[in-house]
Amino acid sequence: VQLQASGGGLVQAGGSLRLSCAASGRTFRNSVMAWFRQAPGKEREFIAAIFRNAGATHYADSVKGRFAISRDNAKNTLYLQMNSLKPEDTAVYYCAADFNLILSSVRTPDQYDYWGQGTLVTVSS
């Protein structure tokens, strides 16, 4: 599986961005997909995950109500709509995928087998 993240950039606080992650190489709809982020000097942090087919979603408390994860299985693409952005949202954002993940593991980076290259989001105050 290959993942290609895009859509990062510079935005003012309060603004919005939409990240995309294009997947190829395996049946996309059978995977659990997620977004993580990593700020300088910090550990990789879970943001959101979306499950196979039915699309159940899970969010970190820090982004709940501001970010929305979605997927288009026909286009093999994962999205992260980010609204009301804050300076503390500044980080490199990564998409990840796994085909065997269970619910209790969705927030753990080490449980994902496939990663995109990351896209930088910078939020200015």
From the CB of residue 49, how many other CB atoms can be counted at a distance below 10 Å? 24
- DSSP letter at 23? E
**pLDDT tens digits, one per residue of 75-95:** 999 999 999 999 999 999 999
CA 69 → CA 42, 54, 93, distances in Å? Answer: 23, 13, 13
Query: What pLDDT, on the 0 to 100 scale, is given for residue 54?
Result: 63
pLDDT band at 12 (very low <50, low <70, confident <90, very high): very high
Query: What pLDDT, on the 0 to 100 scale, is given for residue 96?
Result: 97
- Cα–chain-centroid distance for residue 15? 18
Cβ 78 vs Cβ 20: under 8 Å: yes
Cβ 101 vs Cβ 112: under 8 Å: yes
Query: What pLDDT, on the 0 to 100 scale, is given for residue 29?
Result: 82
**20-24, 87-91, 98-102: range with lowest mean pLDDT:** 98-102
- The answer on pLDDT for 10 being more than 90 is yes
**pLDDT tens digits, one per residue of 23-73:** 988 777 888 999 999 999 999 999 999 998 667 999 999 999 999 999 998
- The answer on pLDDT for 6 being more than 70 is yes
Please enumerate in sequence order all residues whose Cβ is within 8 A of that of 124, keeping only pairs 6 or more positions apart, or say none: 10, 11, 12, 13, 87
